[in-house]
């Protein structure tokens, strides 16, 4: 699995002009599942994102996690994280997990985030055309890959 994790002051996602998820201070997570991903990949990514020390402590040092600050997480599915642009000009998505299994992992991510202690877990709509707004704090953007390719 791949995740783009952004520290935000606030973020929200809309579908057809309606807000379907929003958070204040916390994380916006763009989450993609790759071919062959399992619950173990999901567990790795969720553990990493809830425990990343990317929020400032009293001295301004990135030393606190989203759990430590009581922040929220807005999780948005994004298969395009597996877009392969090495050939041609149009991305190929052969490395993305097929939609039925990807949806199951995405929905499991929301359950795992809540179980990890995140008080506010919001979500986009799997497979929908979404508009995502955010105010990136820092900016701080972290990439996580369960296969540790980056």
Query: What amino acid positions are annotated as catalytic residues?
Result: 78-80
Quick one: which of 128, 79, 129 has its CA closest to 105? 79
Query: Does residue 65 contact residue 113 with C-beta atoms inside 8 Å?
Result: no
**In this structure, what is the dihedral angle of CA atoms 98, 130, 87, 95, given to the nearest 10 degrees?**
-20
Q: Report CA Rg, the chain.
A: 15
Q: How far is CA 118 from the centre of its chain?
A: 13
Residue 126 has which token pair? 């799997």
């Amino acid at each position: 699995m791949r995740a783009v994790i952004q520290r935000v002051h606030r973020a929200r996602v809309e579908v057809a002009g309606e807000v379907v998820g929003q958070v204040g201070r916390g994380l916006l997570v763009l989450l993609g599942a790759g071919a062959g991903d399992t619950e173990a990949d999901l567990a790795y990514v969720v553990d990493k994102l809830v425990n990343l020390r990317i929020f400032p402590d009293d001295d301004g040092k990135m030393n606190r996690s989203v759990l430590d600050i009581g922040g929220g997480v807005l999780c948005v599915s994004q298969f395009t994280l597996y877009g392969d642009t090495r050939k041609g000009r149009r991305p190929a998505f052969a490395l993305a997990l097929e939609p039925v299994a990807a949806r199951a992992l995405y929905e499991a991510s929301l359950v795992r985030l809540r179980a990890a202690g995140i008080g506010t877990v919001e979500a986009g709509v799997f497979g929908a055309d979404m508009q995502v707004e955010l105010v990136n704090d820092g900016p701080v953007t972290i990439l996580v890959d369960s296969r540790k390719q980056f």
